[in-house]
Structure 1
């Protein structure tokens, strides 16, 4: 009986969220223990992978971020495409809401950052830091607390976060990129175009899809682009139509096959690699530094104001609609979770303020991102837990009534 309960737990989103949380906590502990040197040395160690004439050399951290996480973004892209064509987002107004919310969730944090930085005399160059949402950690918190909430909220969060991150990636390319390799980029476009045309006419066997994705991934790295961007683009060419009676289409099959590996291997490994932030060099005096407060306020206040405000505006103007069956309280909880910037914000912070890992700016970036993300995750988790409990009680009393 105990074994069955454990297996049922591990099949749920809450189970994968719990594993992700444990991996992140383990990373924080190791990064601040006597094993920290070995941990960071392992992440920085270079490894070469060669397949035929193709080879790449990257650090362990880069292999995880650009390699394994490309599979995560592929699955995210597949899920969003399915929802657009067959599910929650097939209504254009329900697609418009998370897109507008993502735009609001980028504009407001930047404005909050610049306002706080201007008032306190902090550096203005860090305004892109609070713009991003960490999809993996935001979804993990949502999965743990949202047992009784409608699945449309998860789709809303997923869509908003991917649009948000694509916007952040575009900003990185525009502000911090040293250039894009045009021949590999042309190769990416060519492979995607050929795959799209062939998939419309003939059934492509799974091994060919795998080879195609591997080729697109390799060319993306050679071009100097983020693999998350082309992984989502590759998902867009995977057909959703069922090829045989009683079966599933290639898109649904890929989602089903890849989900366990993403949930219980790729995301925990990513969390272990990216959540290991050393607190060496942090002091209480730095807790109120202008850069720290600007980032933290941008993530915590800017995100919730921008996301919920834009969603409300979309609804008021009849451009969009809130997620099916969701209340405004539940949408507010999701808006709070969007302030979990963490790994993407830390990455942008390293680009905005280049320097040693223990430089004053980097120390303050870490503190601001951790503070803002922790506040957002805690507040969002509490609000969604209350909403979930409220929905459960109401369902037991009046099953057909949902609070507005």
Structure 2
């Protein structure tokens, strides 16, 4: 694959690494799709009661407040690994990549902000006054990078490589926004002592990184202590993963072939994309999809707000914000990317899935548990619809690029 020099410089990492990342995310998206299909079939089969029973099995030490259900372990435990990888990617982009300078970060950050603010506003307008909307407005703000990149790789291979770069930068900035929302909106009754323990463990992790210590047997216990303390403190445990990812060193020393962040990302990305996220989906995506359940998606204000937020809000927010930035800062426009290309990529923002399902659980499970399943169904329906619409748009744009003789790489 031949990539322009400006793109190599933008990432400050070998081109092959970027290619491996895209391929891993694409494969991860396929595995995630299979896990979702299994969950939906199982939850709507004669053995649906078995599915629910397995979700509710409790394991773990009660003395540490960790006697959690398997579904909770998937949400709080396995997704912590996913968010650790997100933290590594975010740190690398902030220090070396697309978000490392104002000029590079301007377009993806603005697009991500627009893609979060507009869906939230639309969701609040559609679901105004409905029970659960106090926090459910956050459900449509997230974009699922695995699914989005998977659809782009399958349907938009003929688009310029800058489309992938733009989507990756957008997704990283979007992840940061989702992390902030989870940390602020869903942290309740914070226990100071436990939080101080988490901070101390994370600080020790950072100090070991600064001292260039590479002993994994020190880092693993520190990561576990940070996660347990964060969970006990009342802060959502996945934030521990993000925090440690951000504290990991991303610049390689002269005697190193690669930095700790890159090394950990290479090792954990397959586990995150191939196991952690699919298992979470297996436990989270099993919702009723009968006629009454689908009818509720379009009659319940909360679920309707989710659909409108993902399908309309994401597209309008990402594209409008991008248009404004490019209009006033022409140099920020990705080379070779047409406005209609940008519109198609913006449609991919409506693929919420993983983080949207997580936020649906966090926002509704405690006070409006009867709405959780409907909200999840809305996320799945909107994400699938956004994927199909985006795929159709990308295929059309790819055909036009091929006819025009534009190189995709």
TM-score with structure 1 setting the length: 0.82
Q: Distance in 1 between matches of 2:219 and 2:365?
A: 39
1:104 aligns with 2:117: no
Q: Distance in 2 between matches of 1:338 and 1:398?
A: 25
Per-residue displacement from partner, 1:4-35 (whole Å, max 9, x unpaired)? xxxx9x96543332222111111111110012
Counterparts in 2 of 1:207 and 1:244: CA distance versus 1, 3 Å: farther
Q: Distance in 2 between matches of 1:390 and 1:371?
A: 29
TM-score with structure 2 setting the length: 0.81
Q: Secondary structure at 2:68's aligned position in 1?
A: strand
Equivalent residue, structure 1, for 2:104 = 94
Counterparts in 2 of 1:155 and 1:369: CA distance versus 1, 3 Å: closer
Question: Does the 8 A contact of 2:74 with 2:280 survive in 1?
Answer: yes
Equivalent residue in structure 2 for 1:278, among 278, 288, 303: 288
Equivalent residue, structure 1, for 2:12 = none
Question: Does the 8 A contact of 1:80 with 1:155 survive in 2?
Answer: no
Equivalent residue, structure 1, for 2:36 = 24
TM-superposed CA distance for 1:171, in Å, is 5.0
Equivalent residue in structure 2 for 1:158, among 148, 151, 171: 171
* 1:3-402 superposed matches below 5 A: 12-48=24-60, 56-117=66-127, 125=134, 126-149=136-159, 150=161, 151-173=164-186, 177-243=187-253, 245=255, 247-279=257-289, 282=292, 285-286=295-296, 288-289=298-299, 291=301, 292-318=303-329, 321-323=332-334, 326-350=337-361, 351-352=363-364, 359=370, 361-362=371-372, 364-394=374-404, 397-399=405-407
Q: Secondary structure at 1:300's aligned position in 2?
A: helix
Question: Does the 8 A contact of 1:46 with 1:60 survive in 2?
Answer: yes
Equivalent residue, structure 2, for 1:3 = none
Structure 1: where are the runs of 5+ without partners? 1-7
TM-superposed CA distance for 1:70, in Å, is 1.0
Q: Distance in 2 between matches of 1:223 and 1:233?
A: 15
Q: Distance in 1 between matches of 2:194 and 2:377?
A: 38
Counterparts in 2 of 1:393 and 1:72: CA distance versus 1, 3 Å: farther
Q: Distance in 1 between matches of 2:86 and 2:402?
A: 29
TM-superposed CA distance for 1:112, in Å, is 1.7
Q: How large is the Cα RMSD of the aligned pairs? A: 3.2
Per-residue displacement from partner, 1:314-366 (whole Å, max 9, x unpaired)? 33343983456544333333322222233544454453475676x4x456434
Bigger shift: residues 23-32 or 208-217: 208-217
TM-superposed CA distance for 1:246, in Å, is 5.9
Question: Does the 8 A contact of 2:297 with 2:375 survive in 1?
Answer: no
Q: Secondary structure at 2:112's aligned position in 1?
A: helix
Bigger shift: residues 297-306 or 108-117: 108-117
